[in-house]
Amino acid sequence: MYSQAQHHPGKPKRKEQSRTRLAKAKMISVATPMFAEKGYGATSISEIEIKANVKRGMLVYHFKTKRNLWMEVADRVFAPVAKRWEEKSQGSLAQHKSPKEKVEILIRDYVRTAAQFPEIGRFYNKESSEASWRLEYLVTNYLKPEKNYLEQINAETLWQDPRDLFHWYYILYSSCSAIFSSAPECRLQFGINCLDKEIIEYHADILVDLLLSKMRKTS
């Protein structure tokens, strides 16, 4: 008796979708440290494809351009941080009326976030050193909302001198993230794993004391 083979049109499509997701994920994964360490201009499409072990032309096939891939990488790096920032601003930060309490929470959370995502510091340092469409993308989508929130706290008279906020903003970024983005150097110089939980919390304690000292004098 002749038995007609059953066709499952959905299965090949699902397999293709799975392969597509895997190839895209591999390219995003290998491109992240390359963009953060070498920079956008020094990272070639062919290098990404070779390191991701995908066929030539796959980057253009999946992302159309290197620019689109960079934006996906930037979103992968900064979106989790932006989400945590938004949750804090609507949650524990909103519950504290004191500007100092809000800033202390921000410092501690930013230190923990920088330790969890050390590529943030490397990525930010690479792109913030020169004007480009990439810096505009980061500022518009991720950095400006954080600055705006600090300005909102500033409106609560935490800083009496407007220059304090400007300097404090950059001190916050560099002091919170530099130690974690330089973890290999820290281990060589001091023999310390700066990603250890105890070190992370102690670093937060030190920064709270340092960064709030100016505010205590002026508020």
Residue predicted with more confidence, 9 or 77: 77
Distance CA 64, CA 208 (A): 45
The whole-angstrom separation of Cα 148 and Cα 195 is 29
CB–CB of 141/148 below 8 Å?
Answer: no
Residue 219: band (very low, low, confident or very high) from pLDDT cuts 50, 70, 90: very low
Are 43 and 119 in the same domain? no
Sequence-separated contacts (24+) of 21-26 with Cβ below 8 Å? 23/52, 23/54, 23/58, 23/62, 24/62, 24/63, 26/52, 26/53, 26/54
Do residues 79 and 58 both lie within one domain?
no
For residue 37, is it within any domain? yes
Query: What pTM did the predictor assign?
Result: 0.77
Q: Return mean pLDDT, the chain.
A: 83
CATH number of the domain within which 149 lies? 1.10.357.10
| Most confident residue range from 38-42, 83-87, 102-106 | 38-42
How many C-alpha atoms does 196 have within 13 Å on its Cβ side?
Answer: 9
21 plus 77 within the same structural domain = no
CATH number for the domain harbouring residue 54: 1.10.10
Q: Give the pLDDT confidence score for residue 58 in this predicted structure.
A: 94
Structure tokens at 7: 């066709």
